Amino acid sequence: MPFLSSTTSAAVVFGLASAAFYGIADALSGTVARTIGVRRAVFFYQLLGLLVLSVFVVYSVFDGRLTTLPGARPMVWALALAGALTTLFGSLSFSRALSLGNAGVVAPIMTCYGAITTVLSVLTGEVLGAVQLLGLFVCVIGVPLIASGVDDDAHPHAIAHARQAVWWALLSAAMYGVGFWLEGHFVLPVLGTLPLLVISYMVGTMVLGASLARRSDDASRKPVPRWAWGLALTTGLLGLAGLTSIAAGAQTGALSIVTVLSTLSAVVTTVVGLMRGERMTRWQWSGLAAVMLGVGMLRIV
């Protein structure tokens, strides 16, 4: 008898693949944001996602899988827009945090968005099990441990940037948590996954495109080296590969396994950061372990 069923094995593979893709993408995002700018970086990712998604939509129409647009009340569309704007601000905050601090510190803090979503779900009537409540408590303990490891002997500018990165990471977790709660609780059950993704990428592309267009004559911006656009493309494709892995894993019917394993992306990000010369204290390692454990417990259904 095999140790794991074929369905479970496939879910494990897709979950780990998602963690690897997202983890490497997050580790590279800081360099991209510092080189081409936070807004341009996020705009590039949004535009790339919209283009890839548009190809899939066209294919689905011609293949007969998509024949009609989902019908929904105006309030649902309004909440979809609100969720898209909130998650967009989360992406901008996360990119800003990565541009300022160590990816191994920023990524685990952002991963705690699940705790925000959980709290909001409880406030709107969802009942949690003992394991999920314990996971929420563990996350609350882990985040301060990660944030506490600022090197007081470092240069004052480095200390300031590290502390700013923590606050931006906390803001990104809050924005992602609220946005995913809005989308998952009110929008996804009505519109479905594909329309929700289209709305999210369209809103991000339009809002950031308009913002960048207004500053197109800003002479203070430094020219961007060619390698930075190649790195941005690689980072964007890795993010889309992570999303595709989660979507493919969901088709196996073992979504809980896929989502729990995908949270290991923060560990991958930390490992890549260490390979690039970043350092973490023992307290931060303890906080990372606590956050990963807590987030995994939150996602156990």
Task: Give yes or no for residue 3 having a pLDDT over 50.
Answer: no
First to last CA, the chain: 26
Q: What are 277-295's pLDDT values in tens digits? A: 777 778 778 888 888 888 7
Contact 201, 46 (CB under 8 A): yes
Report the candidate in 5, 19, 3 with the shortest Cα–Cα distance to residue 259: 19
Q: Are 128 and 118 in contact (CB under 8 A)?
A: yes
Q: Are 188 and 117 in contact (CB under 8 A)?
A: no
Per-residue pLDDT of 155-168, as tens digits, reads 667 678 888 998 99
By 3-state DSSP, what share of the chain in percent is helix, strand and coil, each rounded to 5?
80, 0, 20
Give residue-wise pLDDT tens across range 4-48. 556 667 777 888 898 899 999 999 999 999 999 999 999 999 999
Give the Cα separation of 241 and 236 in Å (integer). Answer: 9
Whole-prediction pTM value?
0.85
Three-state SS for 1? coil
Q: What is the pLDDT of residue 220?
A: 47
> Rg of the chain's alpha carbons, rounded to an integer?
19
pLDDT tens profile 146-192 = 776 655 555 667 678 888 998 999 999 999 989 988 988 888 888 88
SS3 string, 101-124, reads CCHHHHHHHHHCHHHHHHHHHHHC
CA 230, 235, 236, 242 torsion-angle sign? positive
